[in-house]
Structure 1
Amino acid sequence: MAIHSDWGNWLPQAVADADPDGLAVWYLGCNGFVLKAADGTTVFVDPYLGTGDPPRTVRMIPVPFAPEDVAAADAVLATHEHTDHTHGPSQAPILTGTDATFFGPSASVEIADGWREDHGVDSGDIAEVSEGDSLEVGSLSIHVESAHDPDADHPVSYVVECEAGTFFHGGDARPSEAFEAIGSAYDIDLAVAAFGSSGTIPDKETREPAYTKWYSDENMAAEAANQLQTDRLLPTHWDMWKGLTADPTVLFDHVRRFEYPRTIEILEIGDRTDL
């Protein structure tokens, strides 16, 4: 079934029309982003346009675009295999409609392999990555690093370097020695951290109510930013699921006594920031 956008095509058109001096970064809601470099290189990270699995998971924000409206893309990156990060209806049309390649860890690629039959994706457009790999996508150097996400089978994180600066996307990962190593190895300008509340969500199999903590809370998000030594922290995922949403402004109090981040940047779905 084709995905219907609540907003029409204005957001992918805004990306197509943009001519950034450095690296433009649009927040797609949930944990999704699209990056566009000065040379036009365009990379999507964890774009998810589904509505969840009501009543278990209920999307609380608009669907910002239909994937068929993406006119140009060079890569789609997945951090791990969960549906809101690796999703055929959201991501396969970007692959078939552009020259983009899907890059993901083993568990994500296992899912994406099914898109060949289900969505007509060419096998050459799916590539597995693992920790320690580096990719050159246009003017962007993308490094695959470890990630601590106890709910995922094989999570990774991505460090995206370009002339304008360094962007970090950790998926749904939480503070860990992996973040400490990344913070020591790279000079991160803008880091994404999944942040949300805990709640009671029906179990995926039994549908019985179960205590659920999928993302970092306030203290964990502050710890993650400090471990990554990031100048700017951009909280994500707080807007997405009914029962697990949160107020990102509380993070200002929690990071105040840490050296990092220097600033917190809060974007709503569809907003743009730049490096």
Structure 2
Amino acid sequence: MTSSDWGDWLPRAVAEADPETVSLWYLGCNGFAIKGRDGTVLWIDPYVGTGDPPRTVRMVPVPFDPDDVADADAVLATHEHTDHVHGPSQAPILANTGCDFVAPDDSLAVARDEEQWTEEWAVDDEQFTEVTEGDELRVGEFTVHVVETHDPDATHPVGYVIEHPTGTVFHAGDSKPSPSFSELATEYDIDLGILAFGSVGTIPDKETGEPVRTKWYSDENQAIEAASALELDRLVPTHWDMWKGLTADPTALHEHARSFEHPKRLEVVEIGDRIEL
């Protein structure tokens, strides 16, 4: 774990913000801080680790120290991979704020058994909330629906449809296009969708160290296929900035989206950017 490249300005910006609707801060990788107009704060997949060089090499700054996070009502995890469930990134937030860690079973197994958050940090087991597809929970001003996604590299991935009186956000984790997305479009009017996007590259194999052709995220066509099925008003691509060898140009999505009704708007954000719902 390294210290923040940016000091504490990002957690302070979240704490001091007074949104008119809902504000979202992109944390790089697939992470977001989300704050509603009544002050509820959600953190989704926050990750400030540096990967596992030379296999996975972080390409963006570490934007905050978890110990500096003073405002959190819940930390949500989409699946069990280390850049989505990571004790050094997330457990201090639970310890400092007393908030809940909301995650599916395999993600909780990482926190409980593999990383032993309750032993390594001042985290109580009661802060762990297990969820699965079809669940609904209320966190302050947000209603969070746990939905099915399609990430064949994960053992139990989920997505979160986050409803607010002023609009709806969907965080799909690292999902590729899913048969469930057209059903979600029928059930929810999604204003802003967050979809992982990246290139195909060669990444050293975890066991042998030999370079292997790797595709962890949707390519351009898949990202637009997913956004179209979800009938998104706004598409925010993520993960394209993170890992050496798998980075991509999100502006290329403009050309792929041009002839489709959805997404109506492509919104490219960089790490540290704030956008409004």
Report the TM range for the smaller structure's normalisation.
over 0.9
1:83 pairs with 2:82: yes
Residue 83 of structure 1 aligns with an amino acid whose one-letter code is T
Q: Which residue of 2 aligns with 1:159?
A: 161
Deviations 1:128-166 (A, max 9, x none): 100000010000000000010000000000000001100
Alpha-carbon separation, structure 2, partners of 1:66 and 1:206: 33
Within the candidate set 252, 255, 275, 2:254 is matched to 252
Matches within 5 A, 1:41-60: 41-60=40-59
CA RMSD of superposed structures (Å): 0.8
Runs of 4+ in 1 over 2 A off after TM superposition: none
Matches within 5 A, 1:119-268: 119-268=121-270
Alpha-carbon separation, structure 1, partners of 2:272 and 2:70: 17
- Secondary structure of the structure 1 residue equivalent to 2:3: coil
Alpha-carbon separation, structure 2, partners of 1:174 and 1:144: 17
Offset of 1:127 from its aligned partner? 1.1
Alpha-carbon separation, structure 1, partners of 2:102 and 2:208: 32
Residue 266 of structure 1 aligns with an amino acid whose one-letter code is V
Q: Which residue of 2 aligns with 1:109?
A: 108
- Secondary structure of the structure 2 residue equivalent to 1:177: coil
Offset of 1:112 from its aligned partner? 1.2
- Secondary structure of the structure 2 residue equivalent to 1:121: coil
**Unpaired segments of 5 or more residues in structure 1?**
none
Offset of 1:25 from its aligned partner? 0.5
Deviations 1:206-261 (A, max 9, x none): 22211100000000000010011110000000000000000000000001111100
Alpha-carbon separation, structure 2, partners of 1:227 and 1:93: 37
Residue 178 of structure 2 aligns with an amino acid whose one-letter code is S
Identity fraction in percent: 63
Give the total of aligned pairs: 274
- Secondary structure of the structure 2 residue equivalent to 1:127: strand
Q: Is the 8 A contact 1:72 1:99 kept in 2?
A: no
Alpha-carbon separation, structure 2, partners of 1:119 and 1:176: 36
Alpha-carbon separation, structure 1, partners of 2:111 and 2:122: 11
Greater Cα offset, 175-184 or 136-145: 175-184
**Unpaired segments of 5 or more residues in structure 2?**
none
Q: Which residue of 1 aligns with 2:17?
A: 18
Offset of 1:99 from its aligned partner? 2.5
Q: Could you state the TM-score of these two structures normalised by the residue count of structure 1?
A: 0.98
